[in-house]
Every structure is written in C-alpha cells, then in structure tokens.
Amino acid sequence: MLQRLLIVTCASLFAGGLPVVAVAMNAAAAAVDDELAREPSWPAPTRAELRDRTTAWLATRGDTAPAAIEAWDESAEPLDAVVAVIRRADPRAAAVDAAATDPAATVWLDGSDIDSFERDTLRLWLARELVRRDRFDEALPLLAGLDLATSVDPATLLFHRAACQHWLLDAEAAVDSIDQLLERAGAIPVRYERVARLLRADIAGLEEGSLDHIARRMRDITRRLDLGRAGPATRQVQDSVVASLDRLIKELEDQQQQGASGSAGAGGGAAGGQGGAAAPMDDSRLAGGQGKGEVQARDVGSGDGWGNLPPHAREAALQQIGREFPPHYREAIELYFKRLAAGSEER
C-alpha cells in the first residue's frame, strides 16, 4: 500500500512538469519549518512502555501475564506486537482477520464487555488492513474515533488517517493530519515520513473543481467500482464529476464567446476608423438587411442515433484532448466512461 501511494503521488507530481516539483519542494521545506516551530502534540510511547501497558491490560483480565506476553515480538511493529498478545489472551480477536472483508465480523467490538485498550488497538489494526485493501471509506470512520493520547501506535494512526483523507480528497484534513504526524519526523518510521511529505506536497496544491481534481474523483469512482460499490455514494461522486465537467465546458464556451466578441469589436472599430458604419443601433428595431432571409435546410437524421459522431470524428476529438491536456487526463476520462457503460449493478 505504501508503494502504491508513493507511485501515485509521484505520478501526480511529475504529470504537470517541473513547476509542480518546485511547488512540492517548497511545501516540504515549509513543513520542516513548521516542525521546528512547534512542540509535538501527541506522545510517542517506547517499546518498554507498550509492553508495560500490555502487561497491565492482561492483569485486568485475570489472565496470567507471563503466559500471554510470550507472544510479544520485539522485532515486530508496535501495533503488531500488541495485537499478537491480545490474540493470545482473547480468542475473539482472531475475528479481525475476517473483518477486513466482512465488517459484520467485529460487531462484538462495540459490546460493553471489552475495554478501551483492546477495542481501540483492534480497531486501529483493522483500519490499517482496510487501507491496504483500498477501502478508505470504511477505514476513516474507525480512525477518526481513536485517541492519539492513548493509542498504542499514534504514528500508524495519523499516517493511515492522512492516507484516507488524501485519497478521498479532503485536502484540509489531510494536511492537518500530515503536519501533526511530522511533528515527530525524527521518531516515526522513515517510510511514513517520506510518503507523508509527498502526500502533503501533492494535496496542498490541489484546486477544487480543476481538471486534476476531476481526474482524481474519476480514479476514486474506478476504485469503488472495482470493490463492487455501485450504490448511492458512488453515484453521488459520479454526479459531481459530471457537474464539474459541465461547469468547465461552460467556462470554456464563455471564454470563447468573449474572445469572439472582443475580436468583432476590434474589427468594427477599425472599420469605423476607415469611414465604415460600425456603431451599434441606438434602439431595438428590425434591421434593414440585404439578404433574402432564407436558411438552407439540412437533413440531421432522426432516431436514437442522432448526434452520434462517426468513428473517425470521435477519434479526432480524442486526439484533440490529447493535444490540449496531459495524457493521463485522456486515459482517466476514457476509463471512466467505459466503466459507466460497462454496468450499473446495485451494491
């Protein structure tokens, strides 16, 4: 998952050319300045502290701590080390494996017979697995309800929360989570730090409603459809994409009309300077034109096929898109509409 995030982010950064890279470098430098100017707002528990907390949790269960703590692995990541002990002490914890594909498998986590240490640790582990499976919509609510002050692995919590917010295009929240994560840049895993800086540089310059923003929403629709999610939430994103495209088209048409009007005005002014009658009418009335007022009738066809472009004209239009925009926009648009035509099954 980290490699995928890195590849996608790098592709986004370099698609726009060197100016985008410069923006990314400036944003990263600004993030470093922020880190030096503030004190960390979240704790970074040591291995020894995590082991002590896990042992104390075992004692509250009435279990023999030495027996379950044998599952502790000093070489594992903090979250995995704690979860391994919880699995040994509570057989129900094995259900979180199935929950990565079946959310109903963790209904027991909401019960009153489970304490906050076990519940929050297993929710964090489950959210991380959901992110690795591109199920950001399900992972983010789990992460949003966790407390950094009591989490066994706050760095993992912040990183995966930022990854969800970045993918779902919540730019402001993503930047906040990344900045908070980088408060302890020297204490978090190197892979978290490097990917987080790339994510921040990528999302900070994203303009809502831009062609880049539309392409990313199309990519999110593709992810949802790959997961079999064709329900109301996906259709809402699709509708927003269509609305954004319509808005961009309208803006381009307005610009063309303004340009044409300006050209006509300039030409009229030149004609007036040469003695031509270029002044507009001073009142609304029928103009005395010299034409016959006849329009040549053309057969535009009828039926469902009206308005369809022939293959050669459609290809010419796509070639025009390729000349005016970066290649990945054309690919995103083609893939998006192919998936719309492929099926509309309900979730």
Output 164 or 321, whichever has higher pLDDT: 164
Instruction: Determine which helix (DSSP H) or strand (DSSP E) holds 98, and give its type and residue range.
Output: helix 95-99
- What is the predicted pLDDT for the residue at 228? 86
Say what the alpha-carbon torsion angle 303, 305, 307, 313 is, to the nearest 10 degrees.
Answer: -160
Q: Could you tell me which residues come within 8 angstroms of residue 88 by beta carbon, excluding any fewer than 6 positions away?
A: 67, 68, 70, 71
If you ran DSSP here, which 8-state letter would residue 113 be given? Answer: T
- Single out the residue of 164, 91, 89 nearest to residue 124, CA to CA: 164
What secondary structure does DSSP assign to 126-167, as a single string?
A: HHHHHHHTT-HHHHHHHHHT--TTT-S-HHHHHHHHHHHHHH
Model confidence over 255-272: pLDDT tens digits?
888 877 766 665 555 544
Cα–Cα distance measured from residue 230 to residue 224, given in angstroms and rounded to the nearest whole number: 7
Instruction: Determine which helix (DSSP H) or strand (DSSP E) holds 292, and give its type and residue range.
Output: none
- What is the predicted pLDDT for the residue at 14? 38
**122 pLDDT higher than 90:** yes
- What is the predicted pLDDT for the residue at 60? 85
Model confidence over 25-42: pLDDT tens digits?
455 555 545 544 568 999
Q: pLDDT-based confidence at 290, cuts 50/70/90?
A: low
Cα–Cα distance measured from residue 160 to residue 184, given in angstroms and rounded to the nearest whole number: 16
Instruction: Determine which helix (DSSP H) or strand (DSSP E) holds 25, and give its type and residue range.
Output: helix 18-37
Would you say 333 and 23 are in contact if contact means Cβ atoms under 8 Å apart? Answer: no
Q: pLDDT-based confidence at 251, cuts 50/70/90?
A: confident
Whole-number percent of the chain with pLDDT over 70 = 62
- What is the predicted pLDDT for the residue at 255? 84
Q: pLDDT-based confidence at 12, cuts 50/70/90?
A: very low
The pTM is what? Answer: 0.64
The rounded radius of gyration (Å) of the Cα atoms in the chain is 29
Q: pLDDT-based confidence at 287, cuts 50/70/90?
A: low
